[in-house]
Amino acid sequence: MTRKTAFVSCLLALVAGNVLAQNFPTKPLTLICPYPSGGPADQHQRAFAQIASKYLGQPVMVENRPGAIGTLAPAEMARSAPPDGYILSQFPITALRVPHMTRVSWDPVKDFTYVIGLAGFDFGVAVRSDSPFKTLKDLIDFAKANPGKLSYGTPEHGGTPHLAMEELGLKAGVRFMRVRISSTEMAMALTDGRILALSGATSLGRYFDAGAFRLLLTFGERRTRWKAPTAMELGLDILSYGPFGIVGPRGMDPKLTKLLHDAFKQALDDPEYDKLMIRLDMVDWYKSSEDYAEWAVDQFKFQRALIERTIGLGGGLTR
């Protein structure tokens, strides 16, 4: 290829990119939710997509593709979706964890275009309101006196609530009995007594508001509106929450990425989004495209250490 030909090719690519960005979007977008419908992640994504549609000028359709603790959807998108900005996926923190647990065919750092960091879930330990466990100490004392008999539910092996409880057990010197229950069934399992406690998102807040459940502690940086102490406050060196954002396939035009980022940022600043965050009791976690990509590199290393400390590398997805 001559210099002249190379110059013309680059110029044509630049012009094509500019035209694409100027015209985008001309049809509805698809935002894939990697969790089942009805759960807190799905509730957030559907409400967010509706708000974002106002700023993109096209509908944003949410499609649920659960599986592999939230990694099936982004992995499929990375493998098959064209990098044209029309198919995007929620990207949970587990996507930076699973490659340390099992062999995968995708790279969480190289195979995605990081668009924007959105929000995060606070997690905590809850019991029924009539439970004899009034405090975390009560729960720990029972677990010490009855090794392996304190049953708690979490939706995913290797999920953030699971690893937070594993760390809690390590630091408190107790053994818990984990019961794997889907996020949509976990509240019912605690209500009917199949489990004595649950480790999950504080977006189960309607049960706290109704007086059905008691929140013993949270694993985040600050107390939630139910005022339960954080693990850090109780002297446990555990800080754990579930941040997530939106990604596209690798190779997206930077102009498209910026256009999407800017529209999504407007959605984050919308008053309706503030109401959503309060309702779901979620953590603000905005990150620009550049900051999100840098965070992913650092977090990928951190997740390896976390897995090694709690369940061991190669811990698998099916336990």
Per-residue pLDDT tens listing for the chain (319 residues): 555 554 444 444 444 445 556 789 999 999 999 998 888 899 999 999 999 999 999 999 999 999 999 999 999 999 999 999 999 999 999 999 999 999 999 999 999 999 999 999 999 999 999 999 999 999 999 999 999 899 999 988 899 999 999 999 999 999 999 999 987 789 999 999 999 999 998 778 889 999 999 999 999 999 998 999 999 999 999 999 899 999 999 999 999 999 999 999 999 999 999 999 988 889 899 999 999 999 999 999 999 999 998 988 766 665 5
The amino acid present at 262, given as its one-letter code, is D
What is the pairing mode between strands 60-64 and 87-92? unpaired
Secondary structure (3-state) at 50: helix
pTM: 0.86
For residue 170, give the amino acid letter. L
- As a whole number of angstroms, the distance between CA 127 and CA 215 comes to 7
What is the torsion angle, in degrees rounded to the nearest 10, for the CA atoms of residue 108, residue 110, residue 112 and residue 118? 60
Is the preceding peptide bond at 83 cis, omega within 30 degrees of 0? no
> CA–CA distance from 146 to each of 36, 142, 151, 172 (Å)?
34, 6, 11, 14
Residue with tokens 């889907």: 182
- Residue 4: predicted pLDDT: 56
List, by residue range, all CATH 3.40.190.150 domains of the chain. Answer: 21-120+241-310
Q: State in Å, rounded, how far the first CA of the chain is from the last one.
A: 55
Domain ranges in the chain with CATH number 3.40.190.10: 122-218
> Which residue matches tokens 């049953």?
151
Cα 292 to its chain centre, rounded Å, is 14
The confidence score (pLDDT) of residue 8 equals 44
DSSP conformational letter for 228: P
pLDDT at position 6 is 44
Q: Please state, in angstroms and rounded to a whole number, the distance separating the CA atoms of residues 195 and 177.
A: 9
pLDDT at 21: 63
Cα 238 to Cα 232: distance, rounded to the nearest angstrom: 6
At the topology level of CATH, where does 21-120+241-310 sit? D-Maltodextrin-Binding Protein; domain 2 (3.40.190)
Amino acid at 115: V
- Spell out the residues 6+ positions from residue 130 whose beta carbon is closer than 8 angstroms to its own: none
CATH dotted code for 122-218: 3.40.190.10
Q: What is the spatial distance between Cα 6 and Cα 61, in angstroms, rounded to a whole number?
A: 39
User: Other C-beta atoms within 10 Å of 1: how many?
Assistant: 8
For residue 261, what pLDDT is reported? 98
Place of tokens 């593709």: 65
